[in-house]
Amino acid sequence: MKFSKATNYALHTMLFLAASPQHKLIGVQQLAERQQVSTTYLSKILTKLVKAGMIESTSGANGGYRLKRNFEEISFLDVIHAIEGTASLFECEMNHGPECLIQQVMVSAEMKMEEHLRNQKLSELAKQMPVVL
């Protein structure tokens, strides 16, 4: 199982924003430089996070991105779903239906992983990071 690079960048961006002063706007250039990724690529990721309601953007010379006020509740799973979608990681191709024993094991494992990621809040992890100015 492997998450996309976009998910990796999204999680790092969200953690960086969570560790930043709450009302400070961070420009896409600074976010991209921090992760050594192109601003064009990161902008696409940021657009998904804005659409998911996790961050807000302000355009203009002094514009940028910041977390929305309810960021304390944002989990790793929320970010993953914003980037990857919510489709199941495993689909049985044998057309056995819900009685497929392999499908049952895989669904159970995925539910446990999702529960763990749902309980991992970015705000808790951000407390371990130095404040970004």
97: CATH: 1.10.10.10
Asked whether residue 53 is assigned to any structural domain, the reply reads yes
Segments forming the whole domain that contains residue 58 = 5-126
Q: What is the pLDDT of residues 25-41, one digit of tens each?
A: 999 999 999 999 999 99
How many domains does one find in the chain?
A: 1
Residue 131 forms part of a structural domain: no
pTM of the predicted model, to two decimals?
A: 0.87
- What pLDDT does 131 receive? 62
- Judged against a pLDDT cut of 90, whether residue 47 lies above it is answered with yes
Asked if the model's pLDDT at residue 96 lies above 80, the reply is no
Q: What is the pLDDT of residue 9?
A: 97
Q: Is 6 helix (H, G, I), strand (E, B) or coil?
A: helix
Residue 133, pLDDT above cutoff 60: no
